[in-house]
Amino acid sequence: MNLTILIVMAVLTGVLGSPYVTDTDVTPGSDSAGMSAHPNSVPEAADGTEVFHEEGVVEEEGVEEDVMATGELNPSHYPAQRAANVVKHYLNTRYGSPYRWVGLHKVHSANAEEVAESGRKYHLEISVQEMTGNTTEKCSAEVLFPALENQRSPQVQASCEALLTANTTAQEEALYQQYRRNHTLLSGHNLPDSYGHIDPDMKPLWHLGGVASSFVMLKESTENTLYNMAQVANVTQLETENDQLRFNYHVLLHDMVSQEIIHWKLLVTWSPAEGVKVLQMEELPKCEHCEVPPKPN
């Protein structure tokens, strides 16, 4: 927003008071009722931990938020959250399976720095949670968002203390063998359905879709996106090749920042030995007359 307009508005508001017509007396700018704390004290968060006090954050004066914070970041605010979300996608591409779908539990701390000619690098301490279980694990990670002129995908390094070791081997083997033996190829659509319902038998295919989607979401992520998989629109099993189960997926991804639903088609392979791989990925236009939107900055 234009700074001049802001200043004019601020002056007018100060002169006219609240524009709200009321029967009772409204006192504009009245002091925060009930706040007895000293203005400089650091308020406590609901869980008793000290609320983070931002140091070295670039102050915005109401203009477009195009300057990203550096230094120590507030772990609750979006820059740290978006970077942590990228780590989640990375972990899924590395460790995900129909029985291991990683979600973000909490960001403990984060900082960001400009790396000359490379981009911006985040260092994060986070906890992740396997959606299929109840355990959380701590991870340290680094995310490098490349400068615009470079390749687009972020680069991630992460190490997790327990390395997501809930033992899924038996379940994975059983599923793998079961799918291989199928005489009719599996298929499903709307996983979960509009009401959030999903057949227990279809849950592994939902999780697999989520993991496969993370390959796309990792590749597409920037500091201005926050992706989750919204739904598996369609999944069709193909003939097994080279001992890899193969599936065609049509998934809907949700970007929280633009609020767009983006359609992708994926060719996915999986085996317990090789893990999840995405051989082909293709973005679909949102509607018949729409074009695939240009990549955001």
Partner 1 sequence: LVCHENQMRERGTGGFNFGAYHPLETIYSWMDTLVAEHPNLITKVEIGRSYENRPMFVLKFSTGGNKRPAIWIDTGIHSREWVSQATGVWTANKIAADYGTDASLTSLLKTMDIYMLILANPDGYVYTHTSDRMWRKTRSRNPGSMCRGVDPNRNWDAGFSGPGASNKPCSDSYHGPSAHSEVEVKNVVNLIKSHGNFKSFISVHAYSQLLMYPYGYNCRDVSHQRELDSIGRAAVQKLTSLYGTRYKVGSICKIIYQASGGSIDWSYNLGIKYSFAFELRDTGRYGFILPANQIIPTASETWLALKHIMEYVRDHPY
Contact residues for partner 1, defined by CB under 8 A: 1, 18-24, 26-30, 32-35, 37, 39, 43-47, 60-65, 74, 76-78, 103-104, 106, 131, 192-197, 228-231, 252, 254, 256-261, 286-287, 289-290
Name which of 75 and 119 has its Cβ closer to partner 1: 75
Q: Which two tokens stand for residue 30?
A: 């009245």
- Measured CA to CA, the distance from residue 220 to residue 260 in angstroms comes to 13
Give the shortest CB-8-to-partner 1 separation in angstroms.
14
Give the shortest CB-21-to-partner 1 separation in angstroms.
5
Q: CB within 8 A of 66, min separation 6: which ones?
A: none
Query: What are the beta bridge partners of residue 276?
Result: 270
Q: Which two tokens stand for residue 81?
A: 């959250």
- Measured CA to CA, the distance from residue 200 to residue 219 in angstroms comes to 30
Give the shortest CB-276-to-partner 1 separation in angstroms.
18
Name which of 132 and 271 has its Cβ closer to partner 1: 132
Give the shortest CB-66-to-partner 1 separation in angstroms.
8
Give the shortest CB-40-to-partner 1 separation in angstroms.
11
**How many CB atoms sit inside 10 A of residue 59's CB?**
7
- Measured CA to CA, the distance from residue 118 to residue 124 in angstroms comes to 18
- Measured CA to CA, the distance from residue 271 to residue 169 in angstroms comes to 11
Name which of 11 and 37 has its Cβ closer to partner 1: 37
Residue 177 CB-half CA count within 13 A: 6
Name which of 36 and 184 has its Cβ closer to partner 1: 36
Name which of 257 and 267 has its Cβ closer to partner 1: 257
What's the residue count for the chain? 297
